Structure 1
Amino acid sequence: MSTVATVAEASQHLKPLISDLGLILMTAGIAVLVFKKLKQPLVLGYLIAGFLAGNHIDFFPSVTDPKSVDVWAEIGVIILLFSLGLEFSFKKLMKVGGTASITAITQIITMVIMGFLVGQWLGWKQMDSIFLGVILSISSTTIILKTFDELGVKAQKFAGIVIGSLIVQDIVAILMMVLLSTVAVSQQFSGSELMFSVLKLVFFLIAWFVGGIFFIPTLLKKIKNLMTDEMTLIVSLALCLMMVILASNAGFSPALGAFIMGSIIAETTQAEHIEHLIKPIKDLFGAVFFVSVGMLIDPKMLYEYAFPVLILTFVTIFGQSISSTIGALISGQPLKQSVQTGMSLSQIGEFSFIIATLGMSMNVTSKFLYPVVVAVSAVTTFTTPFMVKMATPFSAYLERKLPKKWLKNITRYSTNTQAIKSASTWQVVLKAYILQIVIHTIIILAIILLSAKFVLPLVENSKFGNAITALITIIVLAPFLWALSLRRVAVKEVEILRKERKYKGPIMMMVLFRMGLAIFYIGFLLNIFFSPLIAFFALITAIAAYVFFPKKLHSQYLKIENHFLQNLNNRDIIKIDRKYASLTPWDGHMTTFKIAKESNIAGKTLLELRLREEMGINIAFIKRGEIMVKIPTKNERLFPGDEICVIGTDAQVKEFKGYLLQHEFEPPKNVEKPEIILQQLELNKVDLIGKSISQSLLREKANGMVVGIERNGKRLLNPESDLVLQKDDILWVVGDKKRMNQFFAE
């Protein structure tokens, strides 16, 4: 009886979970069909579908258990952040450069301050205002990328700045989620707590990333031959959930763990394949998340807070546009590209929902904030395509209306900024030393803390357990301690600086500081396992051993470093677009086009087309089905359906796009389709008798071809063009029925 009761109880718990999921997916499916037909963003459709399926609307079926929706929504956030991480990659962040970073940071700082002040002006609580500022500072990656695809502007340079800014915004959003969690828990703005939270986040980000890159690509490579699509999907999701658990145990949100694991896998050679496998799951749970967001919208609150929605929509559109434009100008971009960048970033989206959800889950924000944010997002989703379209004419308008002196100063500043040379030799050395210290400090501390937390409790009661554990830990740490203290970095730059007297002292101080730091970490480790006196003698012994085996430590460290760098760079090596990225340090960029089946350049060689000579365009590769032609030669032909990757500036790419359109055949509209038939005609046309088939002009005038002649009971197939036609010949002709009848009737 107890088993039956347990099964019955389980089914009661399972039923609302399954039925609510069915309702969510049904409303999402209807939204997909309707909004696809209307050519509107699907995210907006999911929000409206959730709104209609929520408990606030009685006309439509509603969910029975809101808590079950929360479960599915949390899973949706994890999968959504994992897929965002797969598209993110920390290496992309390092390659974004100053322009996108300055643009994004200027926008975020401005909008956080502006959002907070507007919230205070509206009379909202301080915590509501803080969350509002952060929510309004993050643009929507999903909406912008979809808009760029639909408008066909992804090839333009400003789009690259926008995408780079979105990458920076993503990582800053993760940072702000951690900071908001700290502020929400303490309910106060303690500078020390915020600093501790930032340092803790940086520590775990670097530790997870370095450890993940060292182990995970190697794991995936080792089991690659055993992996089917099904196993690859399961393993990647298992890794995602493992990092979710680690992040939760470390005091961070599960979404952060999912994002980190996605960014680690993004550096592996199987990233594209995993991203392809994850996409259906991302679409499924992404729809669940956005529908669940829509379910939380209360129409009464929207009516009550219509004025704040209007004000915040205005602030979002104009505040983000202006702040991003100013940021792009500060980074040294011309006026036109700055305006295009700013007006493209004028909306909020998925990260704003996640941050608003965080506030609700922690019970630190008011209930009205969530539906207000969703309403602002819905309006700005509609306005985004119009803002992108209006950017170019608006920049032209500004160029006409702004004072000539301002335009001249902007142009001069842009030119001077882009002409600035690379960092000074001292800056290069300082950056290399700081990077060396930070990365190895985090690795060393992570190993010490792991050993103290997980290994020491297992052996601390045994006689020699502490000594053995300390010895093993020092052996593991030895290569990193050597690299921290003695490894030479920026060798050429250091040699240059040593020749100048004023730099000798600072360089020596940095070397001594690194050595002292390594000794401190050895002492810190030994102090955990032993009493201070024993730790002191062990420290002397460790330093002595450390000095006597420098070559061995050097060799061991190089093996570790080479393995890490190989894992980190494997994906770059096999990606051809990264191979050619170094060819475009100016304002050139790579864009892909498809040769239309109607194009009359199909079949011609690159030598015949003279694309480089005529337009300055270089072709990086040609993709033909599953075949990739890398660095095509001048004798390579283009075929219908080929995807070609070209390298050029905005102007060159635009000219090439027009060139492709000019060389496409455009069939006339409302033209009757010819009826091609094989028909038998008796030759009684006087002006054709005595002429050869070619002289009859049958092909030119009637679009017909003689395939046979019947003469005196004999049939001649495929007659030669010089055959003379005779009276009473019966012609077998293939061609347009209407035109041939007209020709023979004349």
Structure 2
Amino acid sequence: MNHIPHLIVDLALILGAAGITTILFKRLKQPLVLGYLLAGLLVGPNFPLFPSVVETESIQIWAEIGVIFLLFNLGLEFSFKKLVKVGSTAAISGLFEVSFMLLSGYTAGQLMGWSHLDSLFLGGIISISSTTIIIRAFEELGVKSQQFASVVMGILVIEDLVAVLLMVLLSTLAVSQQFEGIEMLASVAKLVFFLILWFLGGIFIFPSFIKSFRRYMNDETVMITSIALCFLMVTIATQAGFSAALGAFIMGSILAETTQAEKIEHLLKPVKDLFGAIFFVSVGMLIVPSLMVQYAVPLLILVVVVIVGKTLFASVGSLIAGQPLRSSIQAGLSLSQIGEFSFIIANLGIALRVTSDFLYPIAVGVSVITTFTTPYCIKAAVPLYEWIKERMPTKWYNFLNRYSNTTQTIRTHSHWNDVLKDYLQVIVLNSVVIIALLLLASRALLPLVQRRMPDPLLGGVLTSAMALLAMAPFLWALVFKRSHRSSYKALWIDRKFNRGPLLLLELLRVTLAVVFVSILLSTFFTVKMALVIAALIIIPSFALFYQKLQRFYNRIETRFIENLNAREQSQSTLTLPPWDAHLAFFQISADSPLIGQSLQELKLREKYGINVVLIERGSKRILLPKPTDRLFPSDRIEVIGTDSQLQRFKDLVEQRRVSEGNKYLGEESPIALEHIEIRGGHSFVGKNIRESQIRELTNGLVVGLEREGHRILNPESSEVIQAGDILWIAGHKKYIREVFQAS
């Protein structure tokens, strides 16, 4: 009889147990992750009633591949541009909540007598919520169209990025076995440097590669190519001293900006599900029931810490960010669990052999319990809000309302904001590229050239010349590039004391360029000589080749921007806080009574209080549709309204609302919410909304008006605009800003 390798038998056992338990949990309407954990417990070495896995080391390798695919898929859903779009609300709330949960976890571990590393890993484990569990709970409870859901999704994006950073910092700390402030800062700086470099290089190279060979790519080649790129970045990341999971996450976030992102995500879903199942089963195999019984009290304590701590800190963070009290409480209770990333962080501690045996099963136990409690916490949010509102002093409640309104009122950006933001972006991005070229030249190119050339000095000069040639466009941008010329000019003309700081900024840019060239040349000359030569090279080179360098850099920048904008996500996270109104997408179902009728006939604004600002019909996009435009089956519409208005409108349009987080092929929705303060000298003062021609000038709709604390949703076109009014306009951001800056 032929011999079957133990690995095949183990896989049959693992996948068979996983299949049975997931069917059971699907029938019970529970998260499949819990089924995988149960399957791992049954086939693991700690449950002798069933056959156990033999080759645990081989299964652990498969589990590591599962982590790679999980992080790669998370990167595909993440995207660096999504991080930029989550806004200050999610950033403040997420960072506030994660910081205090890290502190709470560490404090709880210390109070229970655990070691410093166990306490630190515990803080990381309980600080990250579960995206999978939250999305599933939102779908089952039908709350994805409510405003707080978009806040939660933004916080989850921040948590994902923080989790990646935590993995790097905890790894560094575990290896050094001591807290070195300088070493930790160096690790963070190194991580930030490589993140920026990989993002810039990846966006410039890989989307162009996929675009060039798109005609030759069928489903099979797309899947194989994307997996190859994933493991390529995993290899690069590990060579740079980072984890394989970080490399997979980075490549996923890069490919998320390509036009093939949806296809890649769709094709890799079965692969991710397979290896992800093996990973979660391997997690369950590490559960020791006796340890969970032994540490039942710490487990229950940590469950309370997670539910109470996350609810409290996420709610307070949202309040600080300017969210209303109701939305803040709903967001806090939605985040009161831990999940996938917690397992990965706990698994990291085991792989590095720095955490105690009891920490892993405790983390799994906390995750299981908080997963079951999540739907009930979300349901309890509104009653808890009503209970707090009744017992809160009226002046406190009014203060929170005023704070929420005033915090999120957008004022006109100052010229200094534009200039400083532009300078920071130019200096940081170009400096990262220049430093990368310096490292490449000194560590890879120079040894290669010197092996082929007998004269080391000649080889060094040749290497320097090649490096300078590659660095030239970025040195030009570092010294000369300026995007906000109008703001710069306004500052230069406005006041004389602006000129000193502006000149210092210019001097800083030139100094950095000279320093970078000097670092390159100092390999072959003395430092003083290198500085002199660098100054002599930069000045005449820029004078002679200014136009060519500018054109070449512009081509590089254009290619990068084209790749970055090739595929945009249809996600609208801007909100209209004073009225709890926000943008949302809906799909017109085949049975909807709206089909065939014009917007004028439907009178959606009069009946439901909502405005239709975009209709997508196949590849056709109708921005701010006219009253005569009609709706047809499968149209995708973007509307603005409050939670209650959208909820009433939802049943009329579709059976299941399309998530604001869903992705689709096409460009980014240009519709955004802008709120502008009308100052005394504005040309619109004294005119009504119709006479101001705001719709015609901005291609937008006035959907709200705030005046002396009073708010008007969907104001009449006869409403006269007064000085001090705040207008809320749904339309194209660029056109709105151009009109109001010019007025």
Q: State the TM-score bracket (shorter-chain normalisation).
A: 0.7 to 0.9
State which of 545, 549, 559 in structure 1 corresponds to 2:545.
549
1:511 is matched with 506
Q: What SS does structure 2 have at the residue aligned with 1:56? A: coil
**Cα RMSD after superposing both structures:** 2.4
Q: Is the 8 A contact 1:470 1:529 kept in 2?
A: no
Matched, 1:448 2:438: yes
Q: 1:411 to 1:428 in 2, by over 3 A?
A: same
Q: Superposition pairs for residues 580-729 of structure 1, below 5 Å?
A: 588-595=581-588, 599-619=592-612, 630-631=622-623, 634=627, 637-638=630-631, 644-657=637-650, 659=652
1:729 is matched with none
Range moving further from structure 2, 518-527 or 195-204: 518-527
Q: CA deviation at 1:648?
A: 2.7
Q: Is the 8 A contact 1:20 1:68 kept in 2?
A: no
Q: What SS does structure 2 have at the residue aligned with 1:333? A: coil
**In the alignment, residue 617 of structure 1 is paired with which amino acid?**
I
**In the alignment, residue 68 of structure 2 is paired with which amino acid?**
I
Q: CA deviation at 1:305?
A: 0.5
1:76 is matched with 66
Measure, in 2, the Cα distance between the counterparts of 1:347 and 1:640.
39
2:518 is matched with 523
Q: Superposition pairs for residues 221-260 of structure 1, below 5 Å?
A: 221-260=211-250
Measure, in 2, the Cα distance between the counterparts of 1:593 and 1:516.
53
Q: CA deviation at 1:605?
A: 3.9
Measure, in 2, the Cα distance between the counterparts of 1:282 and 1:658.
34
Q: 1:44 to 1:529 in 2, by over 3 A?
A: farther
Matched, 1:187 2:177: yes
State which of 271, 274, 277 in structure 1 corresponds to 2:264.
274
Q: CA deviation at 1:650?
A: 2.0
Q: 1:306 to 1:538 in 2, by over 3 A?
A: same
Q: What SS does structure 2 have at the residue aligned with 1:348? A: coil
Q: CA deviation at 1:485?
A: 1.3
Q: 1:598 to 1:511 in 2, by over 3 A?
A: closer
Matched, 1:55 2:45: yes
Q: What SS does structure 2 have at the residue aligned with 1:261? A: helix
Q: CA deviation at 1:582?
A: 8.3
Q: CA deviation at 1:606?
A: 3.4
Range moving further from structure 2, 221-230 or 139-148: 139-148
Measure, in 2, the Cα distance between the counterparts of 1:563 and 1:174.
29
Q: CA deviation at 1:501?
A: 2.5
Range moving further from structure 2, 100-109 or 650-659: 650-659
Q: Is the 8 A contact 2:150 2:573 kept in 1?
A: no
Deviation readout 1:227-278 (Å, 9 max, x if unpaired): 0000000000000000000000000000000000000001111111111111
Q: Is the 8 A contact 2:586 2:653 kept in 1?
A: no
**In the alignment, residue 298 of structure 2 is paired with which amino acid?**
P
Matched, 1:101 2:96: no
Q: Is the 8 A contact 1:128 1:365 kept in 2?
A: yes
Q: CA deviation at 1:488?
A: 2.1
Matched, 1:134 2:139: no
2:467 is matched with 473
Measure, in 2, the Cα distance between the counterparts of 1:453 and 1:365.
36
Q: CA deviation at 1:612?
A: 3.2
Q: TM-score, normalised by structure 1?
A: 0.83
1:356 is matched with 346
Measure, in 1, the Cα distance between the counterparts of 2:129 and 2:86.
17
Range moving further from structure 2, 529-538 or 482-491: 529-538
Q: CA deviation at 1:471?
A: 1.2
Q: Is the 8 A contact 1:16 1:68 kept in 2?
A: no
Measure, in 2, the Cα distance between the counterparts of 1:479 and 1:318.
53
Q: CA deviation at 1:590?
A: 3.8
Measure, in 2, the Cα distance between the counterparts of 1:130 and 1:422.
43
Deviation readout 1:16-57 (Å, 9 max, x if unpaired): 222222222111111221111001111111111111111111
Q: CA deviation at 1:642?
A: 5.8
Measure, in 1, the Cα distance between the counterparts of 2:178 and 2:316.
32
Measure, in 1, the Cα distance between the counterparts of 2:40 and 2:376.
26
Measure, in 2, the Cα distance between the counterparts of 1:94 and 1:229.
31
Q: CA deviation at 1:60?
A: 1.4
Deviation readout 1:408-460 (Å, 9 max, x if unpaired): 11111111111252543323322221221111111100011112222111111
Matched, 1:315 2:305: yes
**In the alignment, residue 160 of structure 2 is paired with which amino acid?**
D
Q: Is the 8 A contact 2:43 2:51 kept in 1?
A: yes
Measure, in 2, the Cα distance between the counterparts of 1:450 and 1:429.
32
Q: CA deviation at 1:493?
A: 1.9
Q: Superposition pairs for residues 178-577 of structure 1, below 5 Å?
A: 178-461=168-451, 462=453, 463=455, 464-498=458-492, 499-528=494-523, 535=530, 538-543=533-538, 544-572=540-568, 577=570
Deviation readout 1:601-629 (Å, 9 max, x if unpaired): 445443322223432433455677x6766
Q: 1:190 to 1:279 in 2, by over 3 A?
A: same
Q: What SS does structure 2 have at the residue aligned with 1:59? A: coil
1:688 is matched with none
Q: Is the 8 A contact 1:155 1:590 kept in 2?
A: no
Range moving further from structure 2, 496-505 or 523-532: 523-532
Q: Is the 8 A contact 2:592 2:652 kept in 1?
A: no
Deviation readout 1:321-350 (Å, 9 max, x if unpaired): 000000000011110001011111100011
State which of 78, 82, 87 in structure 2 corresponds to 1:88.
78
1:38 is matched with 28
Q: CA deviation at 1:638?
A: 4.6
Q: 1:496 to 1:316 in 2, by over 3 A?
A: same
The percentage of counterpart residues that share the same residue type is 50
**In the alignment, residue 511 of structure 2 is paired with which amino acid?**
G
Measure, in 2, the Cα distance between the counterparts of 1:274 and 1:70.
26
Name the larger-Rg structure.
Answer: 1
Count, aligned residues: 647
Measure, in 2, the Cα distance between the counterparts of 1:490 and 1:592.
34
Deviation readout 1:675-706 (Å, 9 max, x if unpaired): xxxxxxxxxxxxxxxxxxxxxxxxxxxxxxxx
Which blocks of at least 5 consecutive residues in structure 1 are unaligned? 1-7, 663-746
Q: Is the 8 A contact 1:20 1:65 kept in 2?
A: yes
Q: Is the 8 A contact 2:515 2:531 kept in 1?
A: no
Q: 1:537 to 1:408 in 2, by over 3 A?
A: closer
Q: 1:133 to 1:592 in 2, by over 3 A?
A: same
